[in-house]
Structure 1
């Protein structure tokens, strides 16, 4: 895209330490206390780009050359060199950043007269050589000058808060048509056509043929119209009523779909609950099965213990020899030995039987508790199943209710498309008739034709660009629009000039940034940079408390302003401010802090000691 990038601004002189700021391709911030030469940087750039004079400050004494490095749209680098009081600009086809003694590759004049001047040179590089802008409403034109573009992207502190529109240079009527025409050129990418002379006979015959062709096109479009569709006014009224009907349908759809979503959410919740019930019931059934096996084992153990108890008393009566209980031989057995051993066995069997009975009793209690839990869970699951069935019925009813409303919405959309198509055809016929009327008028008008306005669609797109910029800066406004006839920016029904200086400055900055973004995005010619002096005037100077002049400007707008320029802005931004930028911008962008303290950051634009004793550093 055709644009210019600023590389550096340098003041050089014999036996003088050069003063220089280097510009970042995206964002450069120069901030600090007042009277440190910040605004002097802006004025010096303006001077190097064609301003007639530069108000020097005492620190500039002894500097004989001012150098401005530029990268041109084709990628080549040049350096403009100009003396503090000179009307000639030397051009070096190289990046020069120090005092230069050799002759320049060529020289240009800052005067706009003649062809060998700085304005023509820069416009030629931007692809705007020979572009015309309107000077009046009767077809008068003149060549575009680079200064006509520069005032839209280099904004001084005075102009930033001025009540004069960002498009205009003064409140007077002189030159307003030209200023509006410059904005039209940037937004449309086209200059004004040269004034036509009275058409000759051949041209009139050509125009007659064009008129005949337009008449045929009008007939062709009229054949596409629905005979039952009505005229343009009736169609517009139908569309108005249809849009109201669509709004009603949309409300019904939102209400029904909201109920449907709520029912589906409830059904999903019930499905999760049923799954949990099924899982728990399966776990209980598994436990009951395992405990049933354990109960059978306990009952079998008790049966065996009873059998042992009964058989133990008989074993000593039917056998002689070794003791059946302890294995002692008869010689070692004492009187009543069989009775003693039988008693010991009985005691052991009785103890084991008692223990097993206790375990079986506890198991019965556990099994009973699990069965109670299962019954409760089964009951709860049945309730959830019933609720789920009810929700399924509700969803089905809502879907039945939704279906005709969806059909109505589809029918309304079809009808809207048909009406809008009919209105589009009527609009096309009107456009063709306007072109025809223009051709007829051209045959009777001896000179030029009135300057055309910016297409409404282009103005609307530019309005949206400004609104997006302000939204990115967190400036809360209802609507912003540019009135091309009044050349004024409006917030709602209130002109920019009717706001306080804080809001005027923010709106002016947003206008300049959005214009640059819009042109670069559309690949329209534009210098490609913005230089804004004090766009955030509502903010404190270092050490002062924050304040705002407008409720729509929160304290954080300054931070969002810098971050938007650094991360999103497609051009090059140079910002001169008093307040500190956020810490992340200080780390990422090219930032200069000018301080009154020579030991704190940078003293000012000129090195310490450049000023004469007792001299002031200059403005802001």
Structure 2
């Protein structure tokens, strides 16, 4: 793929735009003409968290759009608002629109990083960050961007082009280079990490088991075994004594059989008497109720008798029976007959009351006799119980005491046996964990890829030769610094000018090598690769001198002639030779209001 255009727009603003083609592209101009702003726009569209730095000319502009052309001539555009919190919008040629995130997620396609890396077959790849800790991270576009989008700070950096200059980045930088050169990532580190975590968990478990044994089972094994032996002996002795005591108790029961028989007879007799008492008391209650009824009837009859006497002596009162006056002609009721009947009933009821009183007296006497008999029987039973108790009490107490002692011994023995068994299990678990810890762990060793770096350094050396880089040979790769050495000197030891040119050669050589396997986007952006270069003896640590026109000429001529199948975008202060400009897609920012294009942003009227 390659970048076709970068367009920045805003309300009531003329678009600021720059267009590129496949092959060599050069945007040349002085400082503060917007060249670096364009580089920042490209980085921001590709998912950087930092928007382009605000400059006076950019005020009022709100959106950046970068259009890319795929190798099959299809295209896609990334649009993003010029603020740190904005999310990029992805426009496919087919019309599909997706709002994407900027954070890489290896399991989803919801970020710019995923979209670009997926096109290169590099999405979901894993990087090794630490050989001891086995820390790892997903390969993201931010990791790759360092070697195809070099701003003016990175291009002169004295640390590896693959990293950020951090002391702990060595392992990750090697992992990135291995992935790019071989297509193989460090996915095996995940399993090794799990095993390492498992070992850590085992060590924690060993420490926990040892702490439990030390804290809760501090006794010596021999002392516990002796204590258990003593408990077994005591238990056996108590069991023998209990058997003897139970036999003695059984004998005592046999010798007291007559007493038990007497007690049983007495209990039976008591039950009979108490039953009779209950019956008599219930009958006496019924007699009381009958007596109350007799008394009620007697009082009623006496009332009738008095009423008859009153009726017999009064002519004004009407007969309650027929309602007429008491005379022979009008009333058929005979008051004398009433008197006689009432007198007869009174005599009969009085006789019944007398007979009932005699029966109540007789029943009360029987109840008193039975109550007295019951009390006597209870006293006799109590005496028998005391006698029986005195006969077997000692034997019962002895059996009870021995049973309680036997129960306590069983509990102590069971608790000690459980304690010993738990301790044995814990020690067995400790031994098992120790064996697991001694088992060899499958350590993760990153695959060697030194040989695959040879084609890369050959490609870089060929580029430096074409650029007339002094003492360009041999170019080698130092895996300790993850950087190239040129003519025996580390790239980072050169002055800024040589470092910048060497960084550009590294990025272009890597693109030439990786595009054969499809693992490169196909474009390289270089910000100011020549500005700091000055001619001189390229010895490490020495400052560069005058501008070397032959180096600049060779650089521009080479990117025009040898990168037609890919894209190189150069932002530079140094102007190409006029003879080369026709072979470039060339944009010149004049920084002059009346001469050509002033800069990236249109001049305000």
What TM-score do you get using the length of structure 2 for normalisation? 0.54
Q: Per-residue CA shift, 1:349-402, capped at 9, x if unaligned?
A: xxxxxxxxxxxxxxxxxxxxxxxxxxxxxxxxxxxxxxxxxxxxxxxxxxxxxx
Q: State how 1:451-466 maps to structure 2 within 5 Å.
A: 451-456=446-451, 458-466=452-460
Q: Per-residue CA shift, 1:16-73, capped at 9, x if unaligned?
A: 1101000111111011111111111111111111110222212112222210001234
1:105 aligns with 2:105: no
CA shift at 1:167, angstroms? 2.1
Q: What is the aligned partner in structure 1 of residue 487 from structure 2?
A: 492
CA distance in 2, matches of 1:16, 1:94: 26
Q: Kindly indicate whether structure 1 or structure 2 has the higher relative contact order, using CA contacts under 8 Å at least 6 residues apart.
A: 1
Q: What is the aligned partner in structure 1 of residue 152 from structure 2?
A: 157
CA distance in 2, matches of 1:87, 1:585: 41
72, 77, 80: which is aligned to 1:79? Answer: 77
Would you say the 8 A contact 2:528–2:572 is kept in 1? Answer: yes
143, 146, 168: which is aligned to 1:148? Answer: 143
CA shift at 1:450, angstroms? 2.1
Q: What is the aligned partner in structure 1 of residue 302 from structure 2?
A: none
Summarize the Cα distance change of 1:445–1:580 in structure 2 as closer, same or farther, 3 Å threshold.
farther
Q: State how 1:196-345 maps to structure 2 within 5 Å.
A: 197=191
CA shift at 1:470, angstroms? 0.3
Q: Per-residue CA shift, 1:123-171, capped at 9, x if unaligned?
A: 111111211221112444322101110011111111211212212212x
11, 21, 24: which is aligned to 1:14? Answer: 11
35, 44, 50: which is aligned to 2:47? Answer: 50
CA distance in 1, matches of 2:190, 2:46: 33
Who wins on radius of gyration, i.e. which is larger? 2
547, 556, 561: which is aligned to 2:555? Answer: 561
Q: What is the aligned partner in structure 1 of residue 34 from structure 2?
A: 37
CA distance in 2, matches of 1:448, 1:7: 47
12, 24, 28: which is aligned to 1:27? Answer: 24
Q: What is the aligned partner in structure 2 of residue 366 from structure 1?
A: none
Summarize the Cα distance change of 1:552–1:128 in structure 2 as closer, same or farther, 3 Å threshold.
farther
State the number of aligned residues. Answer: 347
Summarize the Cα distance change of 1:180–1:607 in structure 2 as closer, same or farther, 3 Å threshold.
same
Q: What is the aligned partner in structure 2 of residue 446 from structure 1?
A: 441
Q: Which runs of 5+ in 1 are unaligned?
A: 96-102, 199-442, 541-547, 611-620
Summarize the Cα distance change of 1:575–1:466 in structure 2 as closer, same or farther, 3 Å threshold.
same
Summarize the Cα distance change of 1:552–1:194 in structure 2 as closer, same or farther, 3 Å threshold.
farther
CA distance in 2, matches of 1:448, 1:73: 41
Summarize the Cα distance change of 1:476–1:601 in structure 2 as closer, same or farther, 3 Å threshold.
same
Summarize the Cα distance change of 1:196–1:498 in structure 2 as closer, same or farther, 3 Å threshold.
closer
CA distance in 1, matches of 2:142, 2:440: 33
1:517 aligns with 2:509: no
CA shift at 1:538, angstroms? 4.0
3-state SS of paired residue (1:468): helix
Q: Per-residue CA shift, 1:70-108, capped at 9, x if unaligned?
A: 12345421110000004311111239xxxxxxx971110
Summarize the Cα distance change of 1:447–1:109 in structure 2 as closer, same or farther, 3 Å threshold.
farther
Would you say the 8 A contact 2:500–2:533 is kept in 1? Answer: no
52, 62, 76: which is aligned to 1:64? Answer: 62
CA distance in 2, matches of 1:147, 1:12: 25
1:185 aligns with 2:179: yes
CA distance in 1, matches of 2:143, 2:131: 18
Q: What is the aligned partner in structure 1 of residue 88 from structure 2?
A: 89
